[in-house]
């Protein structure tokens, strides 16, 4: 049997999107100043990066834990959050460090404007993905979210 001669190269442009990079930089900056910062959900889809940041003091929490958090600082990741998360933070005196990606923020504003103009809103994506939850949350979860064109019923 012959050996396969394989050369692996990683494209120099490969990596996280700029929104995630900025969120990670913000987390690092905060962790350097303060050994404890909470993050609502995983900041990035990378086990290695999560491990590195949790070793520096990042505490990843879920929504149930977030609802009970009081008088702390929390990082909202690049994926953004629905309005409900901002309301919970305010009610519980939780300081928000908002690392929401500007592209997601623009999409949220556009969706809200379209919704206010009584347009039907369809979102192509995974219904339980954090970005979709944040975007759909802007319009009280009134969008039709679908993963496949066959899922749409008119």
Count CA atoms closer than 13 A to 54's CA, side-chain side: 14
Residue 1 CA to residue 132 CA, distance in Å, equals 49
40 by Cβ neighbours in 10 Å (0-12 / 13-18 / 19+) ranks as buried
Residue 63 CA to residue 54 CA, distance in Å, equals 18
Residue 77 CA to residue 40 CA, distance in Å, equals 7
Residue 85 CA to residue 51 CA, distance in Å, equals 25
List the catalytic residue out of 42, 81, 131, 138: 131
147 is catalytic: no
Main-chain dihedrals φ then ψ at residue 96, nearest 5 degrees:
-95, 130
Residues annotated as catalytic are: 131
């Amino acid at each position: 049997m012959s050996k396969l001669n394989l050369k692996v190269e990683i494209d120099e442009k490969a990596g996280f999107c700029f929104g995630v990079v900025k969120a990670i930089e913000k987390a690092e900056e905060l962790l350097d100043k303060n050994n404890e910062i909470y993050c609502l959900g995983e900041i990035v889809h990378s086990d290695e990066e999560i491990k590195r940041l949790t070793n520096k003091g990042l505490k990843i929490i879920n929504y149930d834990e977030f609802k009970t958090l009081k008088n702390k600082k929390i990082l909202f990741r690049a994926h953004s959050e629905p309005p409900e998360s901002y309301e919970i933070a305010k009610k519980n005196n939780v300081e928000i460090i908002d690392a929401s990606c500007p592209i997601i923020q623009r999409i949220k504003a556009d969706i809200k404007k379209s919704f206010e103009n009584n347009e039907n809103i369809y979102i192509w994506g995974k219904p339980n993905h954090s970005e979709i939850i944040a975007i759909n949350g802007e319009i009280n979860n009134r969008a039709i979210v679908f993963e496949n064109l066959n899922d749409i019923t008119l």
